[in-house]
Amino acid sequence: MASASGSEAASQRTIVGGAFFPAGSVRREPAELRIGDGGVTLHRDGETVAVDLAAAIVSDRVGSIPRQISFADGSRFETGDNDGVDALLAAAGRRRSVIHRLEALRPWLLVTCAVLCLAIFALVRWGLPAASDFVANFIPATTEATVGAYALDAFDKSGEMKPTRASQRDIARATALLDELVAAHGGDPAAFRLIFRSGRGGIGANALALPGGTIVVTDEMLARATDDDALAGVLAHEMGHVAERHPLRIFIRTLGIGAISTIAIGDAGTIGTAIATAAGVGLGMSYSREFEREADRHAAELMRRTGRDPRALGRLLLLIAPDGSDPTGGWLSSHPTSVERATNLE
């Protein structure tokens, strides 16, 4: 039977050709369903019977795939004539699929594409960070502190950090600088806790902020930062991470990226998943860089308030990693390059 397209034609259909399968059998017989004045009838093998469409299960329309109608007695009718089935449904007073109309309307598709691209862009750029930060607000400080304690424990056990060998004088110097910065920062002094480790296990001259407000400074960093202003810069930078709850927020954002890519690349297969994962990692690193810049800005502000020179941190960074310390440069690293950061601190 010729299948016409368009809803006007569908409403005039009276014959739907297809295959009939008696209950329990998979042998197909040619058959027709006809819409008449008395309702819908099935014609096969010379016989005509009335059928009750209201009690039948009709498969949903998806594109142009063939439809199945399962009757109450277990028999089935298959047809590729989608418009015909829609006409049957209309005759029985049943609705047509809304989703299908959305999928089939051509001009809508281009609009949908454009909206989709914009939506994805907006989501990734603004929506995801905003939503993640919103979620972060609900994590209580005590949970964060507990988590930070576990993380520190794990770090210590991993061997990357070892017990500190710094002199009492260096420790006192760093602690005094922190107290000065905390006073200038305002807020709760108990929110920041300074501890020391040796970086000889692997992390070298470094400083990090853990969830809950613990700042770790390594002996090697103390040794390099002979200039008080530079050390204060490092501490101020880490205080920035603590104040803005960066460790927690980055974690939640990374979760979000993972969830979104899984949804979007649903039927991708192995190669697609690999690409999506790589893109997700790249995105996670760009969030990292955003936070590092934020912490640098925080540091610069704090330095100005205490009357110290913000550029000292920039000089220290260039000392530790003169050429940027990452051959592939900005995009693939989790920190902006040292050069970039030094320039921003000017």
Q: Is 239 one of the binding residues for other proteins (CB under 8 A)?
A: no
Using CB under 8 A, count the residues that bind other proteins: 68
Q: What is the DSSP string of 13-63?
A: --EEEEEEE-TT----EEEEEEEETTEEEEEETTEEEEE-GGGSEEPPP-T
Residue 251 interacting with other proteins (CB under 8 A): yes
Q: Are 62 and 100 in contact (CB under 8 A)?
A: yes
Question: What is the three-class DSSP state of 204?
Answer: coil
Cβ of residue 299: shortest distance to other proteins, in angstroms?
25
Output the CA–CA distances (angstroms, integers) from residue 219 to 168, 181, 193, 196, 303, in the order listed: 12, 20, 16, 7, 22
Between 188 and 323, whose beta carbon lies closer to other proteins? Answer: 323
Among 5, 11, 59, 343, which residue sits at the site for other proteins (rule: CB under 8 A)? Answer: 59
| In the complex, least distance from residue 278 CB atom to other proteins, rounded to whole angstroms | 10
Among 9, 58, 91, 123, binds other proteins (CB under 8 A): 123
Residues 6+ apart with CB under 8 A from 46: none
- 282 lines the binding site for other proteins (CB under 8 A): no
| Binding window for other proteins (CB under 8 A); candidates: 99-107, 220-228, 237-245, 288-296 | 99-107
The binder of other proteins chosen from 41, 64, 286, 333 (CB under 8 A): 64
Interatomic CA distance for residues 290 and 336, integer angstroms: 8
Q: Which stretch binds other proteins (CB under 8 A): 180-188, 221-229, 256-264, 338-346?
A: 256-264
Could you tell me which residues are beta bridge partners of residue 210?
A: none
Distance CA 41, CA 33 (A): 6
Please give the Cα distance from 216 to 251 (Å, whole number).
19
Is there binding between residue 328 and other proteins (CB under 8 A)? yes
Q: Which is nearer to other proteins, 22 or 39 (CB)?
A: 22
320 binds other proteins (CB under 8 A): no
Least separation, in Å, of the C-beta of 313 and other proteins? 22
Nearer to other proteins, 113 or 176 (CB): 113
Cα(16)–Cα(30) distance, integer angstroms: 11
Distance between CA atoms of 13 and 16, rounded to whole angstroms? 8
Site residues for other proteins, 130-159, by CB under 8 A, read 147, 150-151, 153-154, 157-158
